[in-house]
Amino acid sequence: MRILITGSTDGLGRAAAASLLDDGHEVVVHARSPQRLAAVAELTSRGAEAVVGDLARPDEVASLAEDASRLGPIDAVIHNAGIIDGPDVLRINVIAPYLLTALVPAARVIYLSSGMHRGGRAELTGIERPGAPVSYSDSKLLVTALMAAVARRRPDVISHAVDPGWVPTKMGGPSATDDLALGHMTQAWLATTDDPAALDSGGYWHHQRIEEPHPAVHDEQFQDELCAALERLTGVDLPPL
């Protein structure tokens, strides 16, 4: 299988890439800039291919999608990249996964969520402003609802969201209490496994177990309103495959 992993220069994205390479899969790693490619040199020396693009810039997301597609069919995308604060939270945590879902056909899509999504607001007012102040929790609720929308709208696509736990990555910080070794395993497993549970689309997972997400995630009206807002914002729709 060929798996594209966004944000794979460090943390959970890099760990997932290394694990999938170990298992014999073809991996496409992603770096924000050409300068960051040095951080994945060990992975590319083992056969990983690389694409570059700043996920805060829709034009670069589109170019990244074209570059990834030129490498050959992408079987799965792990939407790993994310930031915890700042003006680009909405762009990186929600808009970029939406655009890549629309622009990179893949049989499996896995979105990195967070247990903090349960504290997010099921509120779309203002998100159509690119620099809208969106909290990390809000963004993770939105991307988890996007996962459910994809599962419903694209029945031939396996779509899941993963809470990797609070792990001591650069984002999680040194005080994180969850197991770093487990942080990448579920998303890598979902991208490749034939386990029947994983082939049933629309799950919210934590350490290879299904959990119940925020109620808004399964609200079909909220899903549709979110997709409509993202379509208006980006000019890109999300048609059924």
Q: Which residues are marked as active site?
A: 136, 140
Question: How is residue 194 written in tokens?
Answer: 């034939």
Contact 226, 142 (CB under 8 A): yes
Phi/psi at 28 (nearest 5 deg)?
-115, 110
Query: First and final CA of the chain: distance in angstroms?
Result: 20
CA distances from 143 to 94, 193, 196 (A): 5, 23, 24
- Tokens found for residue 101: 């879902």
Which phi and psi (to 5°) does residue 191 adopt? -70, -20
